[in-house]
Chain A
């Protein structure tokens, strides 16, 4: 189950030397002949307690990895649904340190790998080392960083090594071969492939660009690539599961939580996970 030693090539050594909770979760799904499901929900939405309950429901209904977003005042990569949810969480008085309560609350009850998705300034403000230490203490697997590129990540590279955390950077349809290589080399756990040039939000179809981004990431040596942005139903999950190691769903789950509460998150997660099986597996 551990990712360590799966691939000892020089190109990917940087990503696999250390035990990675995210990689382990993805590899477990792969061993079962399916892609991994990554579910996103914001911390503190609609309340801290309900965000913990919703995270547990994600894990109990088929999510292999959970991505907990930190509500932030300036979420430039998010569409209206997630903006509205995180704005509400902030209006309710969410404070950044509560994200560790949410992570600990979910990891205490489930085996899912729990990552935190955060814009970078809240981490800078707390201190990169301090944030990393507390995330590791809470049982977190690592960070997904939508506005931090490897070029600016020296402090995070050091802290993530020190505390054994995964660092999930994004790659996009616009990434050049050189940047793709650099980002894949800097990542640990998995690489987050942005399916489309745009922000988060449900879309009726997954762009053909997604397949090309995943192929480019694989060519650059990435062993685990998960596709996100715009994925909202089992049909799209099935399509992506055929060529990527994982599928990331956010907006649709946030809508479900907002409209139908924790139960709706559970039922949508079950529906989404029905699309994970790989025919060839």
Chain B
């Protein structure tokens, strides 16, 4: 037992950063005291195999060329960096730039991760991938990658989400995937992850678990971040080219935190860049109906990692609430917990109402319909811009804020129409739009 590595890793990385070192490329399994492998022994061999395959692939020029080719010729990368001039006027007059992950194939950042992991699954000789999904975005992306690479695909989705997102279920089935409604526990995203893990334990010989966010057991947090780092690399190069300097702030929404860690990574070592993660505040953090994990959670272990967690005094997971299904998760990736503790990233809640106002604003000022998830980042950018303007209105006009527009809002049209009372009460769409259903 003396040779067991510590589960309570030290804060060397934090010290290094504070002393001018680097926070980039943190390899895991620990991020400060977060991360690790709180998993059944049955799955440890599979995690070891995945880690080894990933580490080799990262250093393999062929693998990197495959990823680069898929990013360019399949996903449509690099995604644009668009200056949102009319939107900026509502954000204290700061210059707002949008990193357009909404323009990727399948409509969000999710494609970056699924292509990478599907390639790894092929390298490991796995013929089947499984995935969890909330609203269906990661499920659709996984089904897409599986179709492209000829893999069998099974997606676990809460039974209630299946009903509400019937068209996303149809999308996955059109792409050849099997969707299994999850009826256990609270029948939400966390229970879909539980059922995916149960499937993985039983079928690990031929199955890769294509986890959709930068959470879970090592190597998932570091690996998912790696596949999304392209967002931050591109954004940093683009802003230097388009504005001639680094931004003053970078904003992203946080559910599990994969789009955020992807864009944050490009700027972690630029001390002049303030970084903001915006969690789902739901009805408000005072109401108990929210998904503001870092803001109000306490460290615990769930789904394989130690991280901030929404839990009661008994350590039972608390159900989260958000108008955005993609942020409706009671956990968060361990690297975010670490970045919060050392103060490198500021995490704040955004309520449903604030997010929906930002949603409408972007539609009307820029002609871009954002995902409701991404609207949390837009609402956060408005706050950041207004704070800068309050400090010095003239100086604010030279400030630059990048927002990761992680996905497009086509999937959210029914929810938004219901929210803004745009539907005739007797229309079929009105029925569909209730309780966040999607067209």
The interface bits of chain A over 91-124 (1 if a CB of B lies within 8 angstroms of the residue's CB, else 0) are: 0000110000000000000000000000011111
Identify which of B37, B46, B191 contacts A151 (C-beta below 8 A): B37
A83 at interface by CB-CB < 8 Å: yes
With A147-B39, A151-B7, A154-B8 known as contacts, the answer to whether A74 contacts B315 (CB < 8 A) is no
The reply to whether B201 and A198 contact each other, CB–CB distance below 8 Å, is: yes
Tell me, in angstroms, the Cα distance from A153 to B317 when the chains sit together.
Answer: 21
> Which of A30-38, A47-55, A164-172 touches B?
A164-172
Interface string of B182-216 (1 = CB under 8 A from A): 00111000110010011001111100000000000
A126 and B316 alpha carbons, distance in the complex (Å)? 11
B6 at the interface (CB under 8 A from A): yes
Q: Are B4 and A121 in contact (CB under 8 A)?
A: no
> A95–B202 Cα gap in the complex (Å)?
31
Interface size band for B: 35 or more
Known A-B contacts A152-B37, A172-B42, A199-B202; the reply to A74 vs B314 at CB < 8 A is no
B38 and A120 contact, CB distance less than 8 A: yes
> A197 touches which one: B1, B186, B204, B316 (CB < 8 A)?
B204
Check B301–A154 contact: CB distance below 8 A.
no
Q: Quick one: which of B19-47 are within 8 Å of A by CB?
A: 36-46
Question: B404: CB under 8 A from chain A?
Answer: no
Interface residues of A in 171-190 (CB under 8 A from B): 171-176, 179, 182-183, 185-186
A126 to chain B: closest residue by CB: B315
Chain B binding surface SS class: mixed
Decide yes or no whether A73 CB sits under 8 A from chain B: yes
Answer yes or no: B313 CB below 8 A from chain A CBs: yes
Closest beta carbon of chain B to A148's beta carbon, Å: 7
A146 within 8 A of B: yes
Contact B184 A95 (CB under 8 A): no
**Considering the complex, which residues of chain B in the window 336-373 have a beta carbon less than 8 Å from any beta carbon of chain A?**
none
Given A96-B315, A151-B7, A174-B46 contact (CB < 8 Å)? yes
Q: Tell me whether A122 and B316 are in contact (CB under 8 A).
A: yes
Residue A4 at the B interface, CB < 8 A? no
Chain A: number of interface residues, binned into ranges: 35 or more
Which among A72, A125, A179 has the highest number of chain B CB atoms within 10 Å? A125
Q: Which residue of B lies closest to A72 (CB)?
A: B316
- Contact between A147 and B202, CB atoms less than 8 A apart: no
Pick from B38, B41, B191: contact of A172, CB under 8 Å: B41
Residues of the A chain whose Cβ atoms lie less than 8 Å from the Cβ of B46: 174
* Distance from B412 Cβ to chain A, minimum over Cβ atoms (Å): 28
Task: Using known A-B contacts A123-B315, A151-B7, determine if residue A197 contacts B303 with beta carbons closer than 8 Å.
Answer: no
Query: Across the interface, which residues of B come within 8 angstroms of A179, CB to CB?
Result: 41, 44-45
**A42 → chain B, closest Cβ, in Å?**
14
Q: Are B301 and A120 in contact (CB under 8 A)?
A: yes
Question: What 0/1 readout, one digit per residue, does chain B (242-283) give for beta carbons within 8 Å of chain A?
Answer: 000000000000000000000000000000000000000000
Q: Is A234's beta carbon under 8 Å from chain B? A: no
Does A155 touch B at the CB level, under 8 Å?
A: yes
B81 at interface by CB-CB < 8 Å: no
Contact, CB under 8 Å: B40 / A76 = yes
- Residues 3-37 of chain A, each 1 if its beta carbon lies under 8 Å from chain B, else 0: 00000000000100000000000000000000000
Q: Is A157 an interface residue (CB 8 A)?
A: yes
Interface centre among B40, B190, B299 (most CB of A within 10 A): B40
Report which of B40, B48, B315 forms a contact with A125, defined as CB distance below 8 A.
Answer: B315
Q: Is the CB of B311 within 8 A of A125?
A: yes
Smallest CB separation, B273 vs chain A (Å) = 34
- Taking a contact as CB atoms closer than 8 A, the residue among A83, A125, A194 that contacts B300 in the complex is A125
Q: Is the C-beta of A277 less than 8 angstroms from some C-beta in chain B?
A: no
A residues near B191, Cβ cutoff 8 Å: 74
Is B61 engaged at the interface, CB distance under 8 Å to the other chain? no
Contact B315 A121 (CB under 8 A): yes
Q: Quick check: B45 and A152 within 8 Å, CB to CB?
A: no
Asked if B42 and A197 make an inter-chain contact with CB atoms under 8 angstroms apart, the answer reads: yes
Q: Which residue of B lies closest to A176 (CB)?
A: B45
Distance between Cα atoms of A152 and B186 in the complex (Å): 28
Bound-complex Cα distance A197 to B200 (A): 9
B8 contact set on A, CB distance < 8 A: 154-155
Determine whether the beta carbon of A74 is less than 8 Å from that of B41: no
Q: Is B309 an interface residue (CB 8 A)?
A: yes
Residues of chain A with a CB closer than 8 A to B43's CB: 174
A258 within 8 Å of B (CB atoms): no
The 8 A CB mask of B214-228 against A (1 = contact, 0 = none) is: 000000000000000
- A76 touching B41, Cβ below 8 Å: no
8 Å CB contact of A124 from B39, B197, B201, B301: B301
Binary contact readout B84-126 vs A (1 if CB under 8 angstroms, 0 otherwise): 0000000000000000000000000000000000000000000
Residue in chain B with minimal CB distance to A148: B38
Flag if B311 contacts A151 (CB, 8 Å).
Answer: no
Judge whether A124 and B4 touch: CB under 8 Å. no
- In the complex, the answer to whether A154 meets B6 with C-beta atoms within 8 Å is yes
A77: Cβ under 8 A from any B Cβ: yes
Q: Which residue of B lies closest to A122 (CB)?
A: B315
What's the Cα separation between A281 and B69 when bound, in Å?
Answer: 66
B311 and A14 form a contact (CB under 8 A): no
B50 within 8 A of A: no
Q: A147-B39, A199-B201, A199-B202 are in contact. Are A121 and B301 (CB under 8 A)?
A: yes
| Distance of A185 Cα from B197 Cα, bound (Å) | 27
Knowing A73-B185, A121-B309, A146-B40 are in contact, say whether A174-B45 is a contact too (CB < 8 A). Answer: yes
Interface, chain A (partner B; CB < 8 A): 14, 72-77, 79-80, 83, 87, 90, 95-96, 120-126, 146-155, 157, 169-176, 179, 182-183, 185-186, 194, 197-199
Known pairs A125-B315, A149-B37; list 13 more (Cβ under 8 Å). Answer: A74-B190, A123-B315, A124-B300, A125-B311, A147-B40, A150-B4, A151-B37, A153-B4, A153-B7, A154-B8, A170-B42, A194-B42, A198-B198
Nearest 3 pairs of A and B residues by beta carbon: A125-B315, A122-B315, A172-B42
A-B residue pairs in contact (CB < 8 Å), sample of 6:
A75-B194, A77-B201, A95-B314, A121-B309, A125-B313, A148-B38
